[in-house]
């Protein structure tokens, strides 16, 4: 069902319809990723707000490309990913998303947010982000360099139910983000909590590290 959302800066009504075509981030692509923590009853408003922010970035001078919005399975997270042309595009998006209209809009629906510039360091398997699939996705933030995270690809690929994995590294190589795709959520849970996942990636819950079950709700194809 469409969710009308008023864009207060442009004074227009934007229709937000879930879905979209499968998208694929190319090797080496720059990508802004924002992780949003919300109250469960505000998750729809947060999704609508980030769809608007992405639409605005794609029609601005930020040179934004494909994008996706992911919803936490427990309705407590929204994750926005948007392809950019690098540092200049990120600075534009960071500034635009923090202007007084959009800052108020984001903070009205979010408990906290974290925006950073990443680059796709490695991927394997079926790494399409597809709102229509019944596969299970998970997003993990690791407080470690992407080179170390890249070393976990082999055990991830060997896990039961594996479909795809994308590993992003922050611009300063201080942290990584991993987007997993498995056939079923319980298969990912078994891998990540099991000996292979702990050996490759460390125990879940270390300082600065988080993992969420998510699902794509909206994708934006190449403009």
Structural domains for the chain: 27-220 (3.30.70.100)
Encode pLDDT of 50-99 as tens digits.
898 898 888 876 678 999 999 999 999 999 999 999 999 999 888 877 76
Any idea of the CA torsion for 88, 180, 51, 205, to the nearest 10 degrees? -90
Q: How many CB atoms lie within 10 A of CB 17?
A: 10
What whole-number distance in Å separates Cα of residue 215 and Cα of residue 223? 23
Please tell me the total number of residues recorded for the chain in this structure.
223
Rounded Cα gap, residues 77 and 85, in angstroms: 26
Q: What is the pTM of this model?
A: 0.88
**Sign, Cα dihedral of 148, 213, 137, 59:** negative
113-150: pLDDT as tens digits: 789 999 999 999 999 999 999 999 999 999 888 988 89
């Amino acid at each position: 069902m469409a969710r009308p959302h008023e864009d207060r800066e442009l004074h227009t009504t934007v229709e937000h319809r879930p879905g979209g075509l499968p998208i694929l981030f190319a090797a080496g692509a720059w990508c802004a990723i924002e992780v949003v923590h919300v109250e469960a009853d505000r998750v729809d408003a947060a999704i609508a707000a980030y769809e608007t922010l992405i639409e605005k970035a794609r029609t601005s001078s930020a040179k934004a490309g494909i994008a996706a919005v992911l919803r936490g399975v427990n309705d407590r997270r929204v994750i926005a990913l948007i392809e950019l042309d690098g540092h200049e595009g990120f600075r534009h998006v960071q500034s635009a998303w923090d202007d007084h209209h959009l800052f108020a809009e984001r903070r009205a629906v979010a408990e906290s947010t974290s925006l950073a510039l990443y680059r796709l360091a490695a991927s394997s398997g079926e790494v399409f982000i597809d709102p229509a699939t019944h596969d299970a996705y998970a997003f993990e933030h690791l407080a470690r360099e992407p080179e170390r995270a890249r070393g976990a690809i082999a055990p991830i690929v060997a896990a039961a139910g594996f479909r795809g994995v994308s590993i992003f590294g922050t611009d300063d190589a201080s942290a990584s983000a991993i987007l997993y795709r498995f056939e079923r959520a319980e298969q990912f849970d078994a891998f990540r909590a099991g000996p292979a996942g702990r050996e490759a990636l460390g125990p879940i819950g270390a300082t600065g590290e988080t993992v969420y079950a998510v699902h794509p709700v909206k994708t934006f194809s190449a403009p």
